[in-house]
Chain A
Amino acid sequence: MGVVIEQELGTVHGDEMILNIGPQHPSTHGVLRLKVHTDGEIITQITPYIGYLHRCFEKHCENLTYEQSIPYTDRCDYIGSMNNNFGYAVAVEQLMETKVPEKVEYMRVIVAEMNRIASHLLALGTFGLDVGAFTPFLYCFRDRERILDLFEMLCGARLLYNYIWIGGVSHDFPVGWVEKTYEFLDYFEPKINEYNDLLTYNKIFIERSADVGVIPADVAISYGVTGPNLRGSGVRWDLRKDDPYGIYDRFEFDIPIGTGAMGSVGDCWDRYYVRVRELEECVKIIRQALDALPRDGDVHAALPKKIRPKAGHVYSRTESPRGDLGYYIASDGSDIPSRIKMRSPAFTALSCLNEISRGWMISDVIAILGSLDIVLGEIDR
């Protein structure tokens, strides 16, 4: 490879430069090392090197009981911990054939969607930060902080909740929590327009992100990309609608997809805008769930005394903020799982980085990486 310069003397091959981005780089969203082959400033190849945050999640789970693994699932995707708890709990409940109470189902949906809002806010803010807009980051974090405060009131933790248990949740909603959540939603809904004014329709931001890093729908599907990244490519695929788990089939909400409003379908701006639109959908779901939340009911009613599933295996998937989060659990009949495998949506999103960023400049790679919204804790597990 290398640049080919047509000269009078004939063709001359320029040199290819290898550039390391990371692992300690603020734009890589964690500890990710990218080996970038550049030709001038044009990318010819990118190899992501992962494993700097590997914590042996799957091996740990083979030595812990089912409920002790829940704090470890928190630490995989540490931005959407509730959704990770939810996915794991749903998987074990499928294995045990436990039925959880009605109230718990609603509570889980509420906290999971709240966490999706928090996660998307972080994604939007840091994407803005990557392309050089510092202000929206502070606005997003201001509102994310309110959600974290609500979660702190709910379960005492701000980031790693251990809230959704197998067969239930750890605490009932405290007195006044539901009212405060309504208050937050009323406060939050107009703020979405503020983000749009600040960042979404900003001319510089559109120049940086529109038409950059296009993932065509077929490439996205063949790489297994899911979640907002896939929806940004114009594929209407959301497990909450297409394969409902929990009680998601009871709620009315839309699935926003990328339309190519500013450039072509599947560019960075589309992926970004799908997340903004999803904030509105999350608010819709939370409102419906809060309205229908049963007033009384014991959240600990269905907690199993001893978690000891029958021998067998299960694969369950849920929609985390990053996409299709799958848990494969094999049980040998004891109280310790014999194998847990986690399918990480951020991992598949990262895997298509080489495909989509070839031919773009180095600064565009940062934008593409930011728009993919990866979490290294989940990629390395």
Chain B
Amino acid sequence: MRITIGHMFKIKRGNVTLQYPVERWPRPERHIGFSADSYNVIRSRLTVDVDDCIGCLKCQRACPVSCIKIETTKVEKGEDISEANHRGVTSNGTQKRLLVTRFDIDMTECCYCNLCTYPCPEECIFMVGGPNSSRREIDYEFSEYDRNDMIYRFSKVPFDILQKYASAVEKSEVEEAT
């Protein structure tokens, strides 16, 4: 009782409890001591800068729950799909060779282990926030009314072009399976 009363008089606003929708939990400051750009430490939703993706499938292999689905295909020479931005180099200066026709992440399956972000050579898959908050605003309220809305589709390839490459996609899948 002595302690309870003592704390009752010591109490000040925002001592322990936060009134959630009005107040927000403060983000911890994270100054990672080494290579701050490449390490994003907050575990929020996954985001992909698909312009930087080279389709190496490393994140797909690292995922313990297989919530990342990637399909790639080769594009004929000379053809330029302006929406997909599949030519040229990434921010890290790697030559892009493949067209990423599908990059889906099912956030309902994701276990937030962060294992996919480490092997990425282009640092294009990351969890929002942390040192990357300049690229994506941090948020931790991403509930949806429909379960299908939790499947994030990052590929920018338009549907008609996808159909054109459909046979190629299937072919590469068959090759992978055998």
Question: Do B33 and A156 touch (CB < 8 A)?
Answer: no
Chain A residues with Cβ under 8 A from B33's Cβ?
172-175
Q: Residues of B within 8 Å of A, CB-based: how many?
A: 27
Of all chain B residues, the one with the shortest Cβ separation from A158 is B43
Question: Do A67 and B115 touch (CB < 8 A)?
Answer: yes
Question: Do A71 and B115 touch (CB < 8 A)?
Answer: yes
**Binary per-residue interface labels of chain B (11-44) against chain A in the complex, 1 for a CB within 8 Å, 0 otherwise:** 0000010000000000011111110000111110
Question: Do B31 and A156 touch (CB < 8 A)?
Answer: no
Q: How far is the CB of B156 from chain A (nearest CB, A)?
A: 28
Q: Residues of A within 8 Å of B, CB-based: how many?
A: 30
Contact stretch, chosen from B67-75, B96-104, B106-114, B159-167: B106-114
CA distance A201 to B130 in the complex (A): 44
Question: Do A197 and B2 touch (CB < 8 A)?
Answer: yes
Question: Do A176 and B31 touch (CB < 8 A)?
Answer: yes
User: Interface residues of A: mostly helix, strand, loop or mixed?
Assistant: helix
| Contact pick for B3, options A149, A155, A197, CB 8 Å | A197
Q: How far is the CB of A264 from chain B (nearest CB, A)?
A: 29
Q: How far is the CB of B138 from chain A (nearest CB, A)?
A: 11
Q: Given the interface contacts A142-B16, A171-B41, A175-B31, does A156 sit within 8 Å of B113 by beta carbon?
A: no
**Binary per-residue interface labels of chain B (101-138) against chain A in the complex, 1 for a CB within 8 Å, 0 otherwise:** 00000000001111100100000000100100000000
**Binary per-residue interface labels of chain A (71-99) against chain B in the complex, 1 for a CB within 8 Å, 0 otherwise:** 11010000000000000000000000000
Q: Given the interface contacts A171-B39, A171-B41, does A162 sit within 8 Å of B113 by beta carbon?
A: yes
Quick one: which of A72, A173, A174 has the most chain B CB within 10 A? A174
- The residues of A with any CB-CB pair to B shorter than 8 Å are 64, 67-72, 74, 135, 142, 145, 149, 152-157, 160, 162, 170-176, 194, 197-198
Other A-B pairs, 18, CB within 8 Å; known A68-B63, A153-B29: A71-B111, A72-B64, A142-B16, A153-B30, A156-B41, A156-B114, A157-B112, A160-B112, A170-B118, A171-B32, A172-B32, A172-B33, A173-B33, A174-B31, A175-B31, A175-B32, A176-B29, A194-B3
Between A and B, 7 residue pairs with Cβ closer than 8 Å are A145-B16, A152-B28, A153-B30, A154-B41, A155-B41, A174-B32, A176-B31
- The residues of B with any CB-CB pair to A shorter than 8 Å are 2-4, 16, 28-34, 39-43, 62-64, 111-115, 118, 127, 130
